[in-house]
Chain A
Amino acid sequence: MTGTYLGMPAMPATPRMPAVPATPEVPSFPEAAREAVRDGVLRANLRHATHTIRDKRARAVAELADWDRLRAAGRAVKDHTLRHLDRYLLQLEEAVTAAGGTVHWAADADEANRIVTDLVRATGEREVVKVKSMATQEIGLNEALEAAGIAAYETDLAELIVQLGHDRPSHILVPAIHRNRAEIRDVFRTEMGRWGRPAPGSLGDDPRELAEAARLHLREKFLRAKVAVSGANFMVAETGTMVVLESEGNGRMCLTLPETLISVVGIEKVVPTFRDLEIFLQTLPRSSTAERMNPYTTMWTGTMKGDGPTAFHLVLLDNGRTDTLADETGRQALRCIRCSACLNVCPVYERAGGHAYGSVYPGPIGAILSPQLRGTARAIDASLPYASTLCGACYEVCPVAIDIPEVLVHLRERVAQGGPATRAGIRVTLRPADGHTAERAAMRAARLLLDHPGALRAGERLLARARRLAPRRLPGAGRAWTDSRELPTVPPESFRDWWAARERSTPR
């Protein structure tokens, strides 16, 4: 998508775009993952894509001699900003306002959606073009606009594939990662014509051909749209500048051509000074697309006469972020710059796919972000902290050094044992999530046994004596082990007994 020629395309009357299907009944992670593991095509697509990008990332990162220092600096800037978030957000509001923009504060998804819908309605328009944005997906903005009779067109190539395919994104950076070329060709052939310029009938699955079809389809949308909706990768408090990094240039079209620009941005995206961008403009592209620099970096500060949109609105989104900030261990998740390096190295993500995480934030970061932003009451959110082997690969690649395994264990504790948390600004004590009673009892029994070596030893001997009676299939939770694996054979004598016997026969 590098073509810059802007001809005047034909403009057929287009019906409303399909909203991404809502999923009220989300299965728990293990349940959803079971389906994905059995889907050979999906696993092959994911494996190919994640391995390609993880190898490229490793090479791009290895080029910088000061990567560790950049990582530490990114972490420090983010931690500092989060500690003084109230101050920097007010400074940002002042700077945006002074530059001719308008700042709106949204406590949750509903409020943010209402603000954006009202802003679009005030323009009299019935359609908007969208720059790829995680924040607007998080709040379900497209669905909210759809309900208000406003069509939202995704313009990022991968988001377009997902939207046209009535699908859900499965990766932060590569939302259509689960689709291969042939599948994309089929989606373009059948769907494009229903929403705008159709794909050529002869469309093949060559990436160049696919990109060209998308380019022509999108071009008429760019030229017609009067309103654009975006997110932002960064917001600079001292200048009020918004920053969007992208690879295709489609975002820049949306950010510069329409008359009204509405940006919905999570409050954690602020950085204090323009100079802080120096760190993230190096670490984000290398961690995400494995590029030394992303092809398009668009920055805008309020509005400017005769150049770009004449109206700019910034919607600052909380939606669980200040609650997360109140948690000492969990707050480090707010450092995330959405690079998705953790997804690409995660062996669990690779097998389970993005949809299993039941959230727009899949993979390791999703497993710690979603249960904090949404709480742990639902089955999916209570299962996410367990969707990891704690192998640590995610922590190793994270460009802002989020100790994801540490937060996972912390959230497991919240799920299994309950404890303090902040919800809607109020300190509460959570009860353990449902379904952990038997596990808790087993853990207590094991602890009692393990804390009494005499009992442990008796248990070991009992196990050794009964070893010939050991079943091949275990009941209850143990069945999950024996369904695909053999049990270890119990030896006739434990180490403890071997040692004691040796001590008796050869006293030292």
Chain B
Amino acid sequence: MRAALFVTCVSDVLYPRTGIAVVRLLERLGVVVDFPAAQSCCGQPQYNTGYRYETEPLVRRTVRAFAGHEYVVTPSGSCAAMIREHYPRIGRKAAAEGRGSELAEAAASLAPRVYELTEFLTDVLGVTDVGAYFPHTVTYHPSCHGLRGLGLGDRPRRLLAAVKGLDLVELPGAEECCGFGGTFAVKNPDVSAAMGTDKITAAAGTGARVLCGADNSCLAHLDGLLRRTDSPLRTLHLAEILAATEEEPPS
């Protein structure tokens, strides 16, 4: 099987280890990974902040970059939700405003081919035990777009529970937003930090050493708050845990 990796701009620039982990993991599971270099940002920050017109070129770029791929895998629930939920909406609005149906058609062709990583593993590859080894206590924060936007359900938890050596502890108030919310974090910094502080306090209270998530933007916010405390807790993307083996632990 072949799959294209949509690494997302945040992971590309700030968290390359996540992308590397996805490649290692998928290759270990027998998937041939492509990385179309023409890919860029999905346009979520622009769109969510109210700049729909600025988003359109990025929609076109993303659609073109993945035109020939049957499966597009991304380690971000919010970027997947952007493509699946909002690209068609952006396309419909462009058509309604007289800019033709091209964008709507392109969005409709890409949306069903995009999978968030845990969906791809469980639904397409049909695996729960990916052969990972990670001997630590872990708690999982399900980011809002994965949870409510994509309806990932217990897929991430099932994958984590099957990791050898991993002790999964429940995060109290797991379904509550961490307070990142894209530009919300800078437009409403006080509320954002208050939400994030409640989240890391709850996570630290579980006794876990690792706060795991499947969206690097949420993790950047939580990690940024954690590093202002003396908590031994650290954040890690789900992909890095799933890619870890006894021979190759996460860096």
Contact = CB atoms under 8 A, between A and B. Distances in A.
Interface of A: 29-30, 33-34, 37-38, 43, 347-348, 351-352, 385-393, 395-396, 406, 409, 411-417, 439-440, 443-444, 446-447, 450-451, 453, 456, 460, 463, 477-478, 480-481, 483-488, 490-491, 493-496, 498-500
Contacts of A481: 185-186, 189, 224
20 contacts: A347-B195, A386-B184, A390-B182, A391-B177, A393-B175, A412-B48, A412-B50, A413-B51, A413-B52, A417-B50, A443-B49, A443-B51, A447-B57, A453-B40, A460-B12, A480-B187, A481-B185, A495-B7, A496-B12, A496-B37
A493 to B, nearest CB: 6
A393 B142 CA distance: 13
A500 B12 CA distance: 12
B224 A488 contact: yes
Contacts of B227: 485-486
A460 B10 CA distance: 11
A141 B154 CA distance: 50
Given A414-B50, A416-B49, A486-B224, A491 B17 contact: yes
A61 to B, nearest CB: 15
Contacts of A30: 187-191
Can you list the 5 inter-chain pairs with the closest CB atoms, starting with the nearest? A389-B181, A485-B224, A412-B50, A416-B50, A391-B177
A443 B52 contact: no
Given A391-B144, A483-B189, A451 B57 contact: yes
Contacts of A34: 190
B48 A351 contact: no
Given A450-B40, A453-B37, A456-B40, A393 B51 contact: no
Interface string B212-224: 0000000011011
B180 interface: yes
Nearest to B44: A390
Contacts of B185: 480-481, 485
Nearest to B199: A347
Given A33-B190, A347-B195, A494 B58 contact: no
A495 B40 contact: no
Given A413-B51, A451-B57, A499-B19, 7 more contacts: A29-B188, A347-B177, A393-B177, A415-B50, A443-B54, A450-B61, A485-B225
A480 B196 CA distance: 14
B223 A488 contact: yes
A184 B36 CA distance: 63
- Interface hub of B45, B191, B192, B225 (most chain A Cβ within 10 A): B191
A484 B191 CA distance: 11
Given A495-B7, A498-B16, A498-B20, A348 B188 contact: yes
Contact of B186 (A412, A417, A463, A477): A477
B177 A413 contact: no
Contacts of A447: 46, 51, 54-55, 57-58
- Interface hub of A352, A388, A411, A494 (most chain B Cβ within 10 A): A494
Contact of B20 (A388, A416, A495): A495
Interface in B29-86: 35, 37-41, 43, 45-55, 57-58, 61
B35 A440 contact: no
B226 to A, nearest CB: 8
A68 to B, nearest CB: 14
B14 A490 contact: yes
B46 A391 contact: no
B11 interface: yes
- Interface hub of A30, A347, A478 (most chain B Cβ within 10 A): A347
Given A386-B187, A416-B49, A450-B58, A494 B224 contact: no
Given A37-B194, A351-B195, A392-B148, A446 B48 contact: no
B176 interface: yes
Nearest to B147: A392
Q: Looking at chain B's contact residues, is the secondary structure mostly helix, strand, loop, or mixed? A: helix
Nearest to B22: A495
- Interface hub of A34, A477, A480, A493 (most chain B Cβ within 10 A): A480
Contacts of A450: 9, 40-41, 43, 58, 61
A484 B224 CA distance: 8
Nearest to A487: B224
B37 A347 contact: no
Contacts of A389: 144, 177, 179-182, 184, 192, 195
B193 interface: yes
Contacts of B19: 495, 498-499
Nearest to B179: A389
Given A413-B52, A443-B49, A447-B57, A390 B181 contact: yes
Contact of B191 (A33, A411, A415, A477): A33
B190 to A, nearest CB: 5
Nearest to B225: A485
Contact of B16 (A347, A440, A494): A494
A446 B42 CA distance: 12
Contacts of A478: 186
A368 to B, nearest CB: 13
B193 to A, nearest CB: 4
Contacts of A29: 188
Given A450-B58, A453-B37, A488-B223, A495 B228 contact: no
Contacts of A451: 40, 57-58, 61
Contacts of B192: 389
Nearest to A440: B51
Nearest to B56: A447
Contacts of B225: 484-486
- Interface hub of A348, A389, A413 (most chain B Cβ within 10 A): A389
Nearest to B143: A391
A416 B16 CA distance: 32
B124 interface: no
A453 B176 CA distance: 35
Contact of B228 (A412, A456, A485): A485
A446 B224 CA distance: 23
Contacts of B14: 488, 490-491
- Interface hub of A347, A392, A417, A495 (most chain B Cβ within 10 A): A495
- Interface hub of B13, B17, B176, B224 (most chain A Cβ within 10 A): B13
Contacts of A385: 50
A396 B188 contact: no
